[in-house]
Amino acid sequence: MNPLRPIQSKLKGMPAPLPKRHLYGIILLGGLTLTTTVLLPSPGDLATQPIKITIPASLNLPQKAAKEQVDNTEFYTLPSDEIEPVDALDEIAATEPEWQEYVVQNGDTLSTIFNGLGLPLATMYRLLEADQGKVLHGLRPGQTLSLLIDQDNLLQEFKIKRDLLHTRIFTRDGDGYQSRLRTEESNWETRALSGVINGSFYISARDAGLSATQIQRVANLFQWQLDFARDLRQGDRFKVLVQREFVEGQSTGKSELQAVEMTNKGRTFYAFRHEDGKFYDAKGESLERGFIRIPLERRARLSSNFNLNRKHPVTGRVQPHKGTDFAVPVGTPVLAPGDGVVVKAVRHRLAGNYLVLRHGRQYTTRFLHLSKFLVKPGDTVRRGQRIALSGNTGRSTGPHLHYEFHVNNRAVDAMQVKLPMADGLGGTEKRTFLATVEKYRQELDG
């Protein structure tokens, strides 16, 4: 295609000869190169002498980049009188482009940032095309962007720091960008923290340097052995091994408990972290306590399932059934489904004689329509222990045990709920674990 055509066709309809010189057009190319077409009085000269003037200020550009700038523009043969670059300015051209940093402000979007930096939006679209991780959609105030913009106003490299550990890097590649994720080297440092209970465990542990999350975690680990609110005494001791992640001396905020030692009224409890992320005691036994699915000695007929949308057979109204009913004769022993504490053993108009157990921090179980209690509030019970005899008290249509299982105060289906597992370690795993325990113990004491 003849690049001159658009200009020539326009000129055909113009009256000739022209009285004087006119500046017919200026094509300003990225502010770098000025091209003018000068109309001369003689029609013969018309449009045949475009003059390209290179503005000296642009001479500090590398020549290659300058060429790239005009690649897509209509262009025509240069006249012989092109002004040559000045040598002295050429040396400045060798200057390396510098990195600039931009801290994302409230209300910023990528396009407002690019506008502010004078970068073309086309560049932004090229970046977005290369942004598989969608990091550019989630800019957060305070995030630092690093931009390497060359003298041609081309964004050569763009970095977005996602956190201390991860930086997304976009590198110019042809017309578009290639993106990659750089992960910094981090190191984990282990610290032993210890303290004596003075006031609450929470305050004492905070004073020793544990975070709120870590304190919660410690209490959860020992939930089956210790009630932190009730059992801990002034003068009880604790030691905690915490691993923290650092990048170039700066904490990433990530930390992991490794080992905990609690001394309560002269008894010492341990929790050690295994490779599977779970905690075990010093012998490799699970710190969790398992449950039995059905709190009866023998399997009994299930007369009514857990059903939150149950309709009453007569009224048709939705009457949730928050437990499981077992058809058992009056006087059938009822068992504690897991280790726990008796919270309630009372008589109720509808529930009859009913009993509530608490197991650790998350779980409670309820038993309704009983004929006799075998335990009283405050008693500690072991899994499988007889706690009551079934009956037909309260509003009941026949002898049965109504059994409820609550997780975080919400009734769930006791026959379906995922119960805590109580498996200890065995075989090779146990040997690996016991070796780690030795190391942990030294660190706890060190």
273 lies in the binding site for Zn ion (CB under 5 A): no
Stretch that binds Zn ion, among 32-40, 171-179, 358-366, 401-409 (CB under 5 A): 401-409
Buried b (16+ CB within 10 A) or exposed e, 292-329: eebbbeeebeeeeebeeeeeeeeeeeeeebbbbbbebe
Binding mask 317-346 toward Zn ion (x if CB under 5 A, else -) reads: ------x-x---------------------
Stretch that binds Zn ion, among 131-139, 164-172, 268-276, 396-404 (CB under 5 A): 396-404
The amino acid that residue 130 corresponds to is A
Nearer to Zn ion, 359 or 402 (CB): 402
Judged by CB under 5 A, which of 337, 402, 405, 433 binds Zn ion?
A: 402
Contact (CB, 8 A) for 165 and 116: no
Minimal distance, residue 339 CB to Zn ion, in Å: 25
Minimal distance, residue 323 CB to Zn ion, in Å: 5
Number of residues that bind Zn ion (CB under 5 A): 3
Q: Which of residues 284-313 bind Zn ion (CB under 5 A)?
A: none
Buried b (16+ CB within 10 A) or exposed e, 211-237: eeebbebbbbbbbbbbbbeeebeeebe
406 lies in the binding site for Zn ion (CB under 5 A): no
Neighbours of 331 (CB within 10 A): 11
366 lies in the binding site for Zn ion (CB under 5 A): no
When CB distances to Zn ion are compared, the closest residue is 402
Q: Which of residues 160-179 bind Zn ion (CB under 5 A)?
A: none
Which residue is it, tokens 């544990």? 210
Nearer to Zn ion, 357 or 368 (CB): 368
Nearer to Zn ion, 261 or 325 (CB): 325
Stretch that binds Zn ion, among 112-120, 252-260, 273-281, 315-323 (CB under 5 A): 315-323
What's the rounded Cα separation, in Å, for the pair 90 and 62? 8
Minimal distance, residue 412 CB to Zn ion, in Å: 15
What's the rounded Cα separation, in Å, for the pair 432 and 428? 6
Minimal distance, residue 349 CB to Zn ion, in Å: 15
Stretch that binds Zn ion, among 21-29, 263-271, 291-299, 402-410 (CB under 5 A): 402-410
Nearer to Zn ion, 270 or 405 (CB): 405
State phi, psi for 393 to the nearest 5 degrees. -85, 160
Stretch that binds Zn ion, among 179-187, 294-302, 399-407, 411-419 (CB under 5 A): 399-407
Q: How many CA atoms lie within 13 A of 242 on its CB side?
A: 21
Minimal distance, residue 368 CB to Zn ion, in Å: 7
Classified as helix, coil or strand, 365 is strand
Instruction: Put the strands of the sheet holding 22-29 in their side by side order.
Output: 22-29, 33-39, 50-54
Contact (CB, 8 A) for 76 and 32: no
Minimal distance, residue 407 CB to Zn ion, in Å: 18
Q: Which residues contact residue 309 at a Cβ distance below 8 angstroms, ignoring those fewer than 6 apart?
A: 318, 320
Contact (CB, 8 A) for 230 and 247: no
- Binding residues (CB under 5 A) for Zn ion: these are 323, 325, 402
